[in-house]
């Protein structure tokens, strides 16, 4: 696909409307809405499909993967409660859109992708948009032990269970947001590490993600 980094009035307008739509769907966090209003989502699409970029839908990005629906990105990001300087691990870099939203909120971001072609593509393209996370290629279901602990961990693919190794990589007081369920649908789960061996788990709404594949996954 050909990237074109031009942000015209038409795309800016569509982005404002997307923010209004997300508000009407229940997203309240002002910082999250600001980030969605800032990151040019059409940069992740071929120009042919710019008309799709600000609809509240997931979209194929190649290698059988998708750029998550804006509502889902906003929902997960809101749950994370990112504070500037938070050390954040994202599992499933994909297109890099979610990564840009986290960086807009001031995260020090570590992002891992298991598909080499997606990893290569996103690692090349994001810096051209001005976004610079630390990129990793590998099985994110294991976390990234050498860079732990993290303040926040976000999993952007559907998991069969909450991987124990991930919990251990949370700082005390840290938050994990992960969709857990079967291949068809998953419940959004947040786990707060309340103490050394104390975790508070909450189950929320239902979503549909591509599967988290790996050692501690499908
Ligand atoms: N955050 C992405 C969503 C991409 S879809 C975005 O904003 O576009 C989920 C991604 O998770 C896919 O790219 C898939 O290849 C990746 N993935 C699945 N299992 C993984 C694993 N074990 N480790 C790292 N990435 C994984």
pLDDT of residue 182: 98
Ligand 1 midpoint to CA 91 (Å): 6
Whose Cα sits closest to atom 14 in ligand 1?
92
Alpha helices in 39-179 (DSSP H): 70-80, 97-104, 116-125, 164-168
Query: Which is the closest atom of ligand 1 to the Cα of 157?
Result: 9
Q: What is the mean pLDDT of residues 93-119?
A: 97
Q: Is 68 a catalytic residue?
A: yes
Residue 38, CB-side half-sphere exposure with 13 Å CA sphere = 16
68 lines ligand 1 (CB under 6 A): yes
- Give φ, ψ of 59 to 5 degrees: -150, 140
Query: Which is the closest atom of ligand 1 to the Cα of 90?
Result: 1
186 lines ligand 1 (CB under 6 A): no
Q: State yes or no: pLDDT of 1 exceeds 80.
A: no
pLDDT bracket for residue 2 (50, 70, 90): confident
pLDDT of residue 40: 98
Q: State yes or no: pLDDT of 158 exceeds 80.
A: yes
192 lines ligand 1 (CB under 6 A): no
Q: Are 62 and 117 in contact (CB under 8 A)?
A: yes
Q: State yes or no: pLDDT of 156 exceeds 80.
A: yes
Return the residue matching tokens 């857990």.
Answer: 180
pLDDT of residue 63: 81
Whose Cα sits closest to atom 2 in ligand 1?
94
Q: What does the pLDDT look like over 43-65, one tens digit per residue?
A: 999 999 999 999 999 999 888 88
What's the N-to-C CA distance of the chain in angstroms?
Answer: 29
3-state SS, residue 78: helix
pLDDT of residue 64: 83
Ligand 1 midpoint to CA 9 (Å): 31
Report all structural domains of the chain as residue ranges with CATH numbers, in order of start. Answer: 57-207 (3.40.50.150)
| DSSP code of residue 68 | P
Residue 69, CB-side half-sphere exposure with 13 Å CA sphere = 12
| Cβ-based neighbour number of residue 205 at 10 Å | 11
Q: State yes or no: pLDDT of 217 exceeds 90.
A: yes
E strand intervals along the chain: 59-62, 65-67, 87-91, 108-113, 134-137, 150-155, 170-181, 186-195, 198-207
Closest CA to 93 of 184, 181, 212: 212
Query: Which is the closest atom of ligand 1 to the Cα of 213?
Result: 19
Q: State yes or no: pLDDT of 210 exceeds 90.
A: yes
pLDDT of residue 62: 81
pLDDT of residue 65: 83
pLDDT of residue 85: 98
58 lines ligand 1 (CB under 6 A): no
Rounded mean pLDDT of the chain? 97
pTM: 0.98
């Amino acid at each position: 696909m050909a990237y074109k980094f031009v942000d015209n009035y038409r795309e800016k307008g569509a982005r404002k409307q997307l923010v209004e739509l997300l508000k009407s769907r229940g997203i309240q966090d002002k910082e999250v809405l600001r980030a969605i209003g800032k990151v040019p989502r059409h940069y992740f699409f071929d120009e042919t499909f710019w008309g799709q970029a600000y609809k509240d839908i997931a979209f194929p990005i190649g290698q059988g993967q998708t750029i998550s629906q804006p509502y889902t990105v906003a929902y997960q990001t809101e749950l994370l409660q990112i504070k500037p300087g938070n050390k954040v691990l994202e599992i499933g870099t994909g297109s890099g859109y979610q990564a840009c939203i986290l960086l807009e909120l001031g995260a020090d971001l570590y992002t891992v992708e298991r598909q080499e072609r997606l990893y290569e593509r996103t690692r090349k393209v994001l810096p051209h948009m001005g976004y610079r996370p630390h990129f990793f290629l590998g099985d994110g279901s294991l976390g990234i032990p050498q860079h732990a602990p993290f303040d926040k961990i976000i999993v952007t693919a559907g998991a069969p269970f909450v991987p124990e190794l991930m919990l251990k990589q949370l700082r005390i007081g840290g938050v994990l947001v992960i969709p857990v369920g079967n291949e068809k649908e998953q419940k959004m789960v947040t786990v707060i590490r309340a103490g050394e061996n104390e975790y508070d788990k909450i189950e929320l709404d239902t979503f549909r993600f591509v599967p988290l594949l790996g050692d501690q996954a499908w």
